[in-house]
Amino acid sequence: MTTAIHVLRDEARAEVAHVVLDRPEKLNALDLAAWRRLAEVFRELDADPDLRCIVLRGVDARAFAAGADISAFARERADVEQARIYAHTMHAAMEAVMSCRHPVVAAIRGVCVGGGLELACACDLRIAGTGSRFGVPVKRLGLTMSYRELQVLLRLVGPAHAAEILLEGRIFGAERAREMGLVNRVVPDERVMDEVAETCARIAEGSPLVARWHKKFIRRLLDPTPLAPHEIEEGFAALATEDYRRGVRAFLARTEPEFTGE
């Protein structure tokens, strides 16, 4: 049985979608089919112009995701060639999350280890409960984190913390994750989904065009390649939008702007 992945619209805000990892008996461990489906889901959501924010979470409070489904290794990662296919599929899923134009918030409750931690790192923001647990104990499997996977982690926490996570291979708590820069905020476990909802509301109340541009700009600046002239010009594109005009008018009138994404 593979991890079911559901897409739900937020009951309070239709412009917010929830991508739910649903395999509670395995703590949402991910196999090849689950990674493939994740990529499909995020590509579909990327194409939805009405969205303003996406929440990625586990089905319940016990786990965000317990990494790869090790019980599936015999059929999915038994040799180097299978490992290449698995890695390509996993990387495609993480890339779909990172390149999705809408901001993605990880709601982390319970276990967030291995590939689950890597998936959380691909999100734009991470909000964790005090009882959540993190780590990448692949040393116990005699398995390495590939370059492309490690790049995502390294950009987030830096080389010293990446080395600590991989070389020690220990499971650590939410406060240590926050100290490393793995998560943005740590809140009481029972407050995680409320904090995520408030975060999404703050994102959704702004111009969706601006949120998409800022996500794109942040990611682009992680690439050391010099900006091309057309990329520099894109930094001024917001001024040609109706959202910009609405925002300025509302500010001057001391009212709340209603952005339409135009």
Spans of all domains in the chain: 4-203, 207-253
Greater confidence (237 vs 11) lies with 237
Query: Rounded mean pLDDT of the chain?
Result: 93
Q: Provide the pLDDT for residue 81.
A: 87
Sequence-ordered strand ranges (E) for the chain:
4-9, 16-22, 53-58, 63-65, 104-108, 111-113, 125-129, 133-135, 172-173, 185-187
pTM of the entire predicted model: 0.94
The confidence band for 11, taking pLDDT boundaries of 50, 70 and 90, is: confident
Fold (topology level) of 207-253: Lyase 2-enoyl-coa Hydratase; Chain  A, domain 2 (1.10.12)
pLDDT greater than 90 at residue 193: yes
pLDDT at 1: 64
Q: Which contiguous run of DSSP H or E holds residue 85?
A: helix 80-99
Single-letter code of the amino acid located at 113: V
Q: CA Rg, the chain, in Å? A: 19
pLDDT, tens digit, 9 for 90 and up, residues 227-254: 999 999 999 999 999 999 999 999 999 9
CA distance 107 to 64: 7
Looking at the DSSP bridge assignments, the partners of residue 113 are 135
pLDDT at 77: 75
Which tokens hold the place of 160?
């010293």
Residue 123 has pLDDT above 90, yes or no: yes
To 5 degrees, how large is the angle CA 60–CA 61–CA 65?
A: 75
Residue 191 has pLDDT above 80, yes or no: yes
Closest C-alpha to 54, from 100, 110, 92:
100
CATH number of 4-203: 3.90.226.10
Residue 144 has pLDDT above 80, yes or no: yes
158-185 pLDDT, tens digit each? 999 999 999 999 999 999 999 999 999 9
What is the C-alpha to C-alpha distance for residues 221 and 227, in angstroms, rounded to an integer? 8
In the prediction, which pLDDT does 82 show? 87
Phi, psi dihedrals of residue 228, rounded to the nearest 5°: -80, 160
Cα dihedral angle (159, 164, 165, 168), rounded to 10 degrees?
150
What is the per-residue pLDDT for 220? 93
